Amino acid sequence: MAARLISGKLTGGPVEESVDLPRIEKAVREILIAVGEDPDRDGLQQTPARVARAYAELFAGLRVDPTQVLRTTFEANHEELVLVRDIDVMSLCEHHLLPFRGSAHIGYIPGPDGRITGLSKLARLVEVFARRPQVQERLTSQIADLLMSSLAPRGVIVVLECEHMCMAMRGIQKSGAKTITSAVRGGLQNDAKSRAEAMALIMHR
Ligand SMILES: Nc1nc2c(ncn2[C@@H]2O[C@H](COP(=O)(O)OP(=O)(O)OP(=O)(O)O)[C@@H](O)[C@H]2O)c(=O)[nH]1
Ligand SMILES: [Zn+2]
């Protein structure tokens, strides 16, 4: 499982600097009143401030330039598939601001120049795009598109499998349902054999 990035690492500085914490605090206090709670009771007094700090961290990806993540690349004479599987993903759906979580699997085939990136950078890329209000489909494509534009690989495949709390905790209340999204780019789109090989490695348990 990939190490979780703390917000300071993600933004390169304290997240509080660029987030309007007092505004979030005010809004959370209003929500507590609206649902029938007393925001001044003992256990809730610090809650608006805590939620504000948590939101700053959960949405830290909005203030990070994802191209910076793939700044460092290396030359390698490897023109075959590179696949990092089971990268932990946690994000918030933009419809309900409730979490969705699961795994990301990212594969790419380096281009003719054999340019590769550090393996941890693939997990960092997931973090930058996941720490924003998201839909799973966009999160999947954003990862694939950035890899294509930054590494110029022969092809990219990104598969995400996530469970959405907005389907489990509320609404239809179906827990355990997994949503699987994929984005295939470049040569892998037309190369059925390589794509099947990547998919088999991704789905292998
Ligand atoms: N395609 C997609 N849908 C999502 C994602 N996250 C949440 N949703 C869905 O977004 C939809 C929002 O639908 P609405 O009808 O506007 O909202 P709602 O009344 O709260 O919908 P219900 O969840 O069906 O109660 C729901 O069907 C959610 O399941 C996502 O990542 N991708
Ligand atoms: Zn939702």
Q: Is the pTM of this model over 0.90?
A: yes
Residues ≥6 apart with Cβ < 8 Å to 45: 39
Q: Is the pLDDT of residue 177 over 70?
A: yes
SS3 157: strand
Residue 95 annotated to the active site: yes
Helix segments in 35-101, DSSP class H: 47-58
Reported as a single tens digit per residue, the pLDDT across 110-163 is: 998 888 999 999 999 999 999 999 999 999 999 999 999 999 999 999 999 999
Whether 136 is in the pocket of ligand 1, judged by its Cβ within 6 Å, is yes
Tell me which of 80, 94, 137, 189 is the catalytic residue: 94
pLDDT score at 167: 97
Alpha-carbon 98 to chain mean position: 14
Fold classification of 67-203 (topology level): GTP Cyclohydrolase I, domain 2 (3.30.1130)
- Rounded Cα gap, residues 139 and 158, in angstroms: 10
Q: In CATH terms, are 7-63 and 67-203 the same topology?
A: no
Q: Would you say residue 196 has pLDDT above 80?
A: yes
* Nearest-ligand number for the alpha carbon of 162: 1
Average pLDDT, integer, range 4-14: 52
Strands 115-117 and 73-75, by their bridges, are antiparallel
Spatial CA neighbour of 136 closest among 177, 84, 194, 190: 177
Active-site residue (options: 25, 105, 134, 136): 136
Angle CA 140–162–61, to nearest 5: 50
- Return the domain boundaries, the chain: 7-63, 67-203
**Ligand 1 atom at minimal distance to the Cα of residue 134:** 31
Active-site entry in 37, 163, 166, 197: 166
Contact 138, 93 (CB under 8 A): no
How far is ligand 2, taken at its centre, from the CA of residue 131, in Å? 15
Ligand 1 centre to CA of 157 (Å) is 25
Asked whether residue 13 carries a pLDDT value surpassing 60, the answer given is: no
| Model pLDDT, residue 14 | 56
Residue 156 near residue 189, CB atoms below 8 Å: no
According to the model, what pLDDT value does residue 115 have? 85
Rounded Cα gap, residues 58 and 15, in angstroms? 10
Nearest to 183 by CA among 131, 151, 134, 145: 145
Task: Match domain 7-63 to its CATH number in 1.10.645.10, 3.40.30.10, 1.10.286.10, 3.20.20.140.
Answer: 1.10.286.10
What percent of the chain shows pLDDT beyond 70? Answer: 92
> What SS3 class is residue 101?
strand
By the 8 A CB rule, do 69 and 85 touch? Answer: no
Q: What is the pLDDT of residues 90-112, one digit of tens each?
A: 999 999 999 999 999 999 999 98
Query: Which amino acid belongs to residue 81?
Result: L
Q: Report whether 195 contacts 184 (CB < 8 A).
A: yes
ipTM of this complex prediction, to 2 decimal places: 0.92
